[in-house]
Amino acid sequence: MSVFLFYKMNKLKGKIIAGMDEAGRGPWAGPVVAGAVILPPRIRLPFLTDSKKLSEKRREKLYDLITNKAIWGVGEASHKEVDELGLTKATNLAYKRALKSLPTTPDHLLIDGRDKFSLPHPYDSIIKGDLKVRCISAASIIAKVTRDRLMKDYDKKYPGFHFASHKGYGTRRHHEALKKKGISPIHRISYKPIQPFL
């Protein structure tokens, strides 16, 4: 833990802290999903870390533990909002919606990354926070599992795009599907890789 983070966590002792993270900034299709998590003291979450470093099976187990034992909220911004607002503002909107869905009001937020947001509570952005701070790691799992499940649903709704496998990210298989089928109703038309298929 860095000196800054050690100092910050000590300073926040006794306050209600919500960790926040998002999933889905990079994909060509689907929503941006944000998670917010307030961890109770002494909660046991084995193998908790950045959601991207975990197997799907382990993420799902941790998701069940977090949703059963912690205070959590989730929010999303649609692909249309990403196109209309731009990615940063759409992510900000997803964060606001996640906070609104929290049943408890936090005193302070710890957010993964370096971006600046307009939020109703004071916050700190922490680079690689999903690796360093437990409540951010938990939020990353809430966001990722929620979004992965949404993309699996979209796979059934829009067959042939293989959303269940690549989750909307720019894989070769995704590109081949676009060449065969054109765009789906959930593609982000403002993204450069999608524009040749409009």
Exposed, middle or buried: residue 116 (CB in 10 Å: 0-12, 13-18, 19+)? exposed
14 vs 104: which has the higher pLDDT: 104
Give me the chain's average pLDDT, please: 94
- Cα 135 from Cα 70, distance rounded (Å): 10
11's torsion region: left (phi>0), alpha (psi -120 to 50) or beta? Answer: alpha
Q: Report, as an integer, the average pLDDT of 18-37.
A: 98
The tens digit of pLDDT for each residue in 95-147 reads: 999 999 999 999 999 999 999 999 999 999 999 999 999 999 999 999 999 99
Topology of domain 3-197, CATH: Nucleotidyltransferase; domain 5 (3.30.420)
Chain length of the chain = 198
